[in-house]
């Protein structure tokens, strides 16, 4: 029975540490850019969009499609960086063990 109690304590500690990492990720700001920095997207460490900034020079009413593409690229880059950052944090927690799930972004 002592092994079971030890495993339970380890699981509770892992859960507590995982929640701490989630809180840290929620408070991080990760940036992605496109168009040489004319479009910037900021996301949390969990990949949630916080802010999109546009340089006035990319706002061209006759080429809205280009602006949409730049925003998409900047957001995707920021989310990719956030996912890599989150995986690094979780990897520290799990000692490099890969987990059987992907982060939800």
Distance separating alpha carbons of residues 30 and 45, to the nearest angstrom:
6
Domain limits of the chain? Answer: 54-92
Residues 78, 82, 85, CA angle at the centre, nearest 5°?
140
> What pTM, to 2 d.p., does this model score?
0.76
Query: 47-87 pLDDT, tens per residue?
Result: 999 999 999 999 999 999 999 999 999 999 999 999 998 88
Write down the pLDDT at residue 10.
83
Nearest CA-CA partner of 74 in 48, 90, 53, 93: 53
b/e map of 73-100 (b: 16 or more CB within 10 Å)?
Answer: bbbebbbebbbebbeebbeeeeeeeeee
Residue 101 pLDDT greater than 80, yes or no: no
């Amino acid at each position: 029975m002592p092994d079971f109690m030890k495993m339970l304590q380890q699981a509770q500690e892992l859960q507590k540490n995982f929640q701490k990492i989630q809180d840290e990720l929620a408070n991080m700001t990760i940036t992605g850019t496109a168009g040489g920095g004319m479009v910037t997207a900021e996301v949390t460490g969990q990949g949630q969009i916080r802010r999109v900034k546009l340089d006035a020079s990319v706002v061209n009413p006759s080429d809205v499609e280009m602006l949409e593409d730049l925003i998409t690229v900047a957001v995707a880059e920021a989310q990719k960086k956030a996912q890599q950052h989150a995986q690094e944090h979780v990897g520290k927690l799990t000692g490099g063990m890969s987990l059987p799930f992907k982060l939800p972004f």
